[in-house]
Amino acid sequence: MDHLLLRCPFSRQVWHDIIAWLSMPCTPPSYEPSLLDWWHTARQGTPQSMRKGLASMALLTPRMIWKNRNSCVFEGALPSAQDLVVKIKEEASLWAKARAA
């Protein structure tokens, strides 16, 4: 699980692109023991005004990576980090409209 969500090159690219898109002051997760460990570190280095966005990103990104993995495994979809980043941005927009982000 940690490899899929944090360390594989595909996921690392997705995290990098999403964090850059949101202009977050944290680094993408990589060598932390778990997503929770990364979250604690990232939260400490994020200004209070950006923490809700960080929380939304920390929930949405792993969920979308998992859904993408399932599409590839069970539906024969081809993995594309760029396509997944677009989907995450679209979903984040919906969350923001619903005032969840």
The percentage of the chain sitting over the pLDDT mark of 70, rounded to a whole number, equals: 98
What total number of domains does the chain contain? 1
User: Distance between CA 82 and CA 25 in Å, rounded?
Assistant: 22
Residue 100's pLDDT is what?
Answer: 57
pLDDT tens column, 11-21: 999 999 999 99
Nearest 5 degrees, angle CA 101-CA 58-CA 86? 75
User: Distance between CA 62 and CA 47 in Å, rounded?
Assistant: 22
Average model confidence (pLDDT) for the chain? 92
Q: Print the domain residue range for 31.
A: 2-97
pLDDT tens column, 43-79: 999 999 999 999 999 999 999 999 999 999 999 999 9
User: Distance between CA 40 and CA 32 in Å, rounded?
Assistant: 10
User: Distance between CA 91 and CA 47 in Å, rounded?
Assistant: 23
